Homo-oligomer: A and B are copies of this chain.
Amino acid sequence: MMDSVKYRLTVGYDGAGYQGWQMQVVGTGVQEILEKALAKLFSCGPRVHSSSRTDTGVHAVGMVVHFEVPKTEARMTPTKLVLAVNAHLPEDVRVLAASHPPQNFHARFDASGKEYRYLLWNHAAHHPLLRKQSWHVKKPLDLAAMRAAAKHFVGTHDFRSFRANPDYDTAHTVRTLTAVTIRGTGPLHTVVIRGTAFLYKMCRGIVGTLVQVGEGRIQPADIREILEGRDRRLAGMTAPAHGLVLWKVFYGKKAKGTQSADPNETGE
């Protein structure tokens, strides 16, 4: 049975040019690009299994994937594979690390948590350098109110009010967030969201709601009611995709409140 070998890759990409991670009816997914590059190196044409499926325009620096090849095709060391696969990838997609995980490793099923980061630029004019990687919010934000609101998201809650598509995955909408923090001084802020698993567009629903708290349209104490209402119409807007980065995927003991990632998880 030991006739195949697994590789684990950490992948980063600029989401601007892609219709998300997974192949779409229209447009190109990052997964497709990566599989095409791997097909140049492995004649078996391996299919990659990802920890997450990021949405159109969302970036990543820490996407984790695995794939299997027959042992006869596994001559390349992980270090050489990084160089070889990058030679076949467009410059907005990079394999940043590779390793041989245990043969029973699965990028999605074994993930114990994820960290997303969202970049907010709170200024009258957009950021000339980070304009494609930050959400430009013009109205001055009340950071203290946003930080007070952020605390209400931490813990195990039914996040039904914070996912985009009410038709998707109706059964399991309880998720655990271990941290929602807002870092930075001056006009540039980073919202760090860490949790065991995420619903579709959940991070962007949380960030959009936090910004509306910062603008005074939603009160921090309202977050609890919005969560309890279990209705997407109660929460704030969905923040635009281009500010969001899949920062890191955790495996094993690294994530607090560890539990297996939901196999139906889409993430963002």
Which residues of A are in contact with B by a Cβ distance under 8 Å? Answer: 12-14, 59, 61, 79, 82-83, 86, 91-96, 123-129, 131, 133, 245
Shortest Cβ distance from A30 into B: residue = B128
Residues of B within 8 A of A125 (CB): 82-83, 86, 94-96
A96-B123, A123-B96 known; A128+B12 contact, CB < 8 A = yes
Which of A94, A123, A125, A127 has the most chain B CB atoms closer than 10 A to its own CB? Answer: A125
| Pair A61/B94 contact, Cβ less than 8 Å | no
Which of A79, A91, A123, A124 has the most chain B CB atoms closer than 10 A to its own CB? Answer: A124
Number of copies of chain A assembled together: 2
Q: Compute how far the CA of A79 lies from the CA of B140 in the bound complex, rounded to whole angstroms.
A: 14
How far, in Å, is A156 (CB) from chain B's closest CB?
31
Shortest Cβ distance from A60 into B: residue = B128
A82-B124, A124-B82 known; A129+B59 contact, CB < 8 A = yes
| Pair B245/A12 contact, Cβ less than 8 Å | no
Shortest Cβ distance from A187 into B: residue = B96
| Pair B129/A61 contact, Cβ less than 8 Å | yes
4 shortest interchain CB distances as A-B pairs = A12-B128, A94-B128, A94-B125, A13-B128
Q: Compute how far the CA of A86 lies from the CA of B125 in the bound complex, rounded to whole angstroms.
A: 7
Residues of B within 8 A of A86 (CB): 125
| Pair A245/B129 contact, Cβ less than 8 Å | yes
Residues of B within 8 A of A13 (CB): 128
Residues of B within 8 A of A91 (CB): 126, 128, 131
Residues of B within 8 A of A95 (CB): 125
| Pair A129/B124 contact, Cβ less than 8 Å | no
> Beyond the given A14-B129, A91-B131, could you list 14 further A-B residue pairs with CB under 8 A, ordered by the A residue number?
A12-B129, A14-B128, A59-B128, A59-B129, A82-B124, A82-B125, A91-B126, A92-B131, A94-B126, A94-B127, A94-B128, A95-B125, A96-B123, A129-B245
25 sample A-B contacts, Cβ–Cβ < 8 Å, listed by A number: A12-B127, A14-B128, A14-B129, A14-B131, A59-B128, A59-B129, A61-B127, A61-B128, A61-B129, A79-B124, A82-B124, A82-B125, A83-B124, A86-B125, A91-B126, A92-B131, A93-B128, A94-B126, A95-B125, A96-B123, A96-B124, A96-B125, A96-B128, A129-B133, A129-B245
